[in-house]
Structure 1
C-alpha cells in the first residue's frame, strides 16, 4: 500500500493510501476464496505475465527534446491475445497499469471474449501539448513498444485522453514498420480506429451504451421504469456523454455533472445535447454551463439522485464519501471508481453496484467486433453492431444476476467468480507448461 506525506504543525506525517492494485487484489482474493480457486492457478493470476517500461525522446514544436515514459502491462493471455486500452494521464504508472491490466483480464473473460488482459499508457498531461506533438509522441511510443504489441498478440485501444485519432496514428506507425506484404493484414493491431481507417460504426458509443444497458437491465429486473429517474455523472467524456444520451432518450433526467474543471447541477434537469455542445466550445469543460448552478466539488456525490455513474478515474468513491451518496444504484462507467472501503459502506446501506468489469464492458465488446471485422475483411452497419452489443451485454448481465442470486452475494463478487472460473477451466484443460 502506498503512502502520502503531509506537513502538519511543522512535522511530516505519513499515512497509508489504498491504491488500485490493493483494491483489485482484495477483490480477486475474495472471489478466489469463494470458488476455492486452485492454489497454483491463484499464484499465476496474482501476478502479471509481462511488464514493459519504455523511455523515449520526442522533439517538441520549439525544437527542444522531451523524454517521456510509457508503460504496457500484459497480465494474462490464457484465453487469447492481450487486450486493453492506453491512457495519457499524469497518474499513469506501473502500479496503475498492473491493476487496470488485471481488471481487463476479468472483463474480457466475463464477456466471453477470446482475449486476455493488458493496459498501459504514457505519464503525460496531453492538454499541454499541440496536436502535432501528440502525434509524434504517439508514433514514437508505438515504435518503442515494437513487437510487444500485434494483432494476434496484444491489441491496444483508446482509454482516458486517447481517442480514434490516437489509434489511427498507432495503426499507421505499426503497419509502416511491417514488411510491405504484411501491412494491410495488420490493421487490427489496435481497435477504436476512425470509421474511415478500419474502425467500427458505433465503437465511439459502445462503452456508454453498455453502461446504459446495464442500468436498463437492472431496472427491468427490479420492475422499475427509467422514466423520471434522476442521474448524476462524474466525467462527461465519451463514456459519460453516451451513457447520459441514452438514459435521457429513455426518459431519465440528468441533474448533476462533474469533470476535472468543475461541478454543475440543475434539479430540473440538464439537457445532455446542450451540455455536450457547450463542452465542445469550452475546451471540454462543463464549468459555467448557463443552464445550471455551480456545485461545490466535495458535494457532488451528495446530490439527490436515483442513479450515480462514476465515469472518470479510479478511487473516486471512498469511505470519506460513500455514506453521503443518495443513489439507489451505482453504475461504474470508469475502471475501479469505488475502492474496497467505500464499497463495503455502500453495500451495507443496500445500494446496488453494477461493477466496472460488467458495466463498462461494452467498449471491449465493441473492440472485439472491430477486430473481427478487420480480420475477416467485413463491414458491419451501425444497427447490426448495436443489436450484437445489446445481446452480449444481456448475456453477461443475466449470468451475473443469476449467480448473485444463487450465491447470495453482491454483483462484483459474482462477476469475478464467473470470470475467474472461465480462466481456471482453461488452465485445467490445457495444463501448465512444462
Structure 2
C-alpha cells in the first residue's frame, strides 16, 4: 500500500485535499460523497507460462467516476502498485479531466510487475492476457473504459492491447479507440508521446503571463534563465526539461533519477544527460554536471522552479521544511503529500497542482480518441485550403504594397497546419484556459489562497453540476 510519511495512504491524501476544497463550498453532503467515492474496482489474477514456469500476476482497474464516458486513465506496470494507489490515481483522473474540460470520467489501472525482469515477447504475452482479463468484464472498451500509457508502459504495450481487443471483437469498427497512446502508425496521434511534458511547459508559460501571480510567488521576468531542478528523466521529465530549456531558455541546473542526481549551476544539456541515462542506466559518470549520490537532496537545493516528475510522495513532511524553490510545478501524480502541501503553503511556496500541470496527457489522449472515432487524421480536410488562402494573402500583400514579402513570412502564411500543429494548438489552448479559470476563481474568492484548492473547487463544481443536471 502506498503511504506518505504522515501515515496517510495516497488515496487518503487525495481525499484530504478534496475535503479542503469542499470546506469552501456549499455542496450537498450526499453529492460530495458521491463524487469522492470510487464507482468500481476490478482485481484480476491470471497465470502465464514464463520460461517453462507458471507465474501468477495480479492487476487492478479502478473506475472512479462515470459521470462522463468513457472513463479514462493510464495503465502502469510497477512492483509497488496496489489497489489503494490505483483508486487514488483514478480519483485524480476524474478531477484532472474536469479541470481541463475533457469529457471523460476517471479511471486507472495497474499490474504488479517489474517489466525489467521480462523479455519483450514475455511482456507481450503478459500484456495480451491482461487485456483479455480487462475486456471480458467491460473494463477495456472504446465506449466505457479507455486506458493509456503510464509508468512502465508505453506505445508498445498500447499497440498490443489494441490488437488484442480488435481480435476479441472483430466487428467493433472503433476498436482502435479502446486505448490511447498508440504508435502513430497504429492509430496514435502525433504529439501524444510528448504531451504530458509539453503540457508542463504550456502550464508554466501561461503562469509566467500573469505578472500579479509571479509577484506573489516572488518571481520576476520570464522563463528565460530561470533555474529549474527536475526530478525524473522519464517521458514526462525528459520532455518538460527539453522543451523548457531549448525553447524557453530556462536553465536546468539539477536532474534527479533513481541512482542519484547531477547538478550544474551553469545548466545541464538535457539531451546529453538523457542519452547518458539511456546508455548507462543512470546519470553516474555523466560529464555535464556534478554527480550527487543522494540525489533526493537536490530537491532541497535553491532554485526558481522545482518540477517533481517521478513518484508519489517525493516531497513529504520530512523534506518540505527544507525546500527552497519559489515555485513547484507538479508534473508527477501526487508528488507532494497532504502534510507537505500544508507546510509548503505556510512557508509561502507557490504550488501548481498535479491535477492541472500534468493534464496534457489526457488532453491529447482525448484528441487521439476523437481521431480514432472519426477515422480521419487531423488536418486532412482543411490543410490545403489553408495553404491556398495563405498564398492569396501573400499575393494580395505584394500587389498592394508593390514589394516582395520576405520568404520567412511567405513560408509561414502559406503553410497549412499539420496534425502535430493542431494537437499542440489544442493542448496549449486547454492548458491556458484551465489556468485562467483557476486564477479567475481565486480573484473572485480570496479565501481560496492556493491553486490546488481553487482547481479542486472548479472540478467539484463541474462534477456536482453533472450529477444535479441528471436529477440525482
Inter-partner Cα distance in structure 2 for 1:59 and 1:404: 55
Against the structure 1 CA distance between its residues 240 and 3, is the aligned structure 2 distance closer, same or farther, given a 3 Å change threshold?
closer
For these two proteins, the number of residue pairs brought into alignment is: 418
> SS where residue 17 of structure 1 aligns?
coil
CA distance in 1, matches of 2:27, 2:376: 40
Partners of 1:287 and 1:100 in 2: CA distance: 32
In structure 2, distance between residues paired with 1:140 and 1:2: 26
The Cα RMSD (Å) is 1.5
Q: TM-score, normalised by structure 1?
A: 0.93
- Mapped contact 2:304–2:326 kept (Cα < 8 A): yes
- 1:8 corresponds in structure 2 to none
**Matching of residue 421 in structure 1 with residue 461 in structure 2:** yes
Of residues 189-198 and 255-264 in structure 1, the stretch that sits farther from structure 2 once superposed is: 255-264
Residue 427 of structure 2 is matched in structure 1 by 389
> Is the contact between residue 2 and residue 17 of structure 1 (CA under 8 Å) also seen in structure 2?
no
1:158-307 correspondence runs (5 A):
158-178=149-169, 180-182=170-172, 184-221=173-210, 222=214, 224-249=221-246, 250-283=248-281, 285-295=282-292, 296-307=294-305
Query: 1:362: which partner in 2?
Result: 360
Is 2:47 the partner of 1:57?
Answer: yes
Q: What's the CA shift for 1:171? A: 0.5
Match of 2:337 among 339, 351, 355: 339
Residue in 1 aligned with 2:416? none
CA distance in 2, matches of 1:129, 1:401: 46
Aligned pairs for 1:17-36 (under 5 A) are 17-36=7-26
Conserved? CA contact 2:314–2:336, under 8 Å: yes
User: Is the counterpart of residue 128 in structure 1 residue 117 in structure 2?
Assistant: yes
**Please, which moves more after superposition, 308-317 or 374-383?**
374-383
Cα distance in 1, alignment partners of residues 259 and 8 from structure 2: 25
Inter-partner Cα distance in structure 2 for 1:3 and 1:245: 31
- In the alignment, structure 1 residue 42 sits paired with structure 2 residue 32: yes
8 Å contact kept, 2:259–2:295: no
1:314 matched to 2:312? The reply is: yes
SS in 2 for 1:217: helix
**Deviation for aligned residue 1:2:** 8.1
Report the TM-score when normalising by structure 2: 0.86
Deviations 1:208-246 (A, max 9, x none): 011111112112213621111110111100000110011
Gaps of 5+ in 2: 215-219, 379-418
Greater Rg by CA:
2
Is 1:406 the counterpart of 2:444? The answer is yes
Distance 2:3 2:421 in 1: 49
